[in-house]
Amino acid sequence: RKEVEQDPGPFNVPEGATVAFNCTYSNSASQSFFWYRQDCRKEPKLLMSVYSSGNEDGRFTAQLNRASQYISLLIRDSKLSDSATYLCAVLTSGTYKYIFGTGTRLKVLA
């Protein structure tokens, strides 16, 4: 089993739709969690951290479920510009190595 797993997609959604991605992790000692956005042939860019209490940034909401060992990203009112690959990253306590998922592709359609 991979340490961090994501559904590769693609998720094809119409503009204005709400879409959610999950990312599961296997190491219960994982302590920090992040979502990154990666556009085609670009570097991953930090989208948001994921906190235990959940956090929101505009149309984006991230949540952590420690009991089931997954994090989620919810995008409301999808825009064409949201089309990208979304990577989750997990940091295990006492280490500095982020473990990345392979990413979920999102296509927002006009």
**Cα angle at 108 between 107 and 110, to 5 degrees?**
135
Backbone torsion region of residue 54, taken as left when φ is above 0, otherwise alpha when ψ lies between -120 and 50, otherwise beta: left
For tokens 């280490």, what's the residue?
95
Q: Which of 41, 58, 67, 110 binds another protein (CB under 8 A)?
A: 41
Residue number, 4 or 19, with CB nearest to another protein: 4
Stretch in the footprint of another protein (CB under 8 A) among 41-49, 51-59, 61-69, 74-82? 41-49
Is 62 an interacting residue with respect to another protein (CB under 8 A)? Answer: no
Q: Do residues 6 and 88 make contact, with C-beta atoms less than 8 angstroms apart? A: yes
**Minimum distance from residue 20 beta carbon to another protein (Å):** 20
Residue number, 21 or 34, with CB nearest to another protein: 34
Is 101 an interacting residue with respect to another protein (CB under 8 A)? Answer: yes
Q: Which of 25, 61, 71, 103 binds another protein (CB under 8 A)?
A: 103
d(CA 7, CA 26): 15
